[in-house]
């Protein structure tokens, strides 16, 4: 605990209820990742804010932002587009080879 430079005042003042224990856990977790606790202090204990804090915690833990998710959506689209282009190029190469084979047979037949 001391190696992470966290204060234990919240644990000392803990009443033992689940709500306080959950809040202490989130406070310790947030202090571990050097996140500010302004949202936690203003928390009204509603599910929406808790969900927002949890998603903020997860996003900050993995150093992600919403732009990464937008890029992922674009990447999936581009990947699908590249796959279809690759498939089309494969078919085109097959057709070109097939056409060249026909031309070769014609030239052989003419000679």
Q: Phi and psi for 45 in degrees, rounded to 5?
A: 65, 30
pLDDT of residue 1: 43
pLDDT tens for residues 86-103? 655 555 555 555 555 555
pLDDT band at 25 (very low <50, low <70, confident <90, very high): low
Tell the residue number behind the tokens 């500010």, with chain if given.
36
pLDDT of residue 5: 44
Q: What is the mean pLDDT of residues 73-97?
A: 56
Domains of the chain by residue range: 2-61, 65-111
* 6/27 Cα distance (integer angstroms): 10
* 28/6 Cα distance (integer angstroms): 7
pLDDT of residue 8: 46
* 93/64 Cα distance (integer angstroms): 41
Is 10 a residue whose pLDDT tops 50?
no
């Amino acid at each position: 605990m001391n190696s992470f430079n966290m204060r234990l005042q919240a644990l000392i003042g803990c009443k033992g209820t689940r709500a306080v224990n959950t809040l202490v856990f989130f406070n310790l977790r947030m202090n571990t990742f050097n996140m500010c606790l302004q949202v936690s202090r203003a928390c009204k204990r509603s599910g929406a804010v808790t969900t927002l804090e949890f998603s903020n915690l997860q996003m900050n833990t993995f150093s992600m932002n919403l732009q990464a998710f937008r890029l992922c959506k674009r990447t999936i689209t581009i990947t699908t587009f590249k796959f279809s282009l690759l498939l089309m190029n494969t078919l085109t190469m097959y057709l070109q080879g097939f056409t060249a084979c026909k031309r070769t047979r014609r030239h052989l037949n003419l000679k």
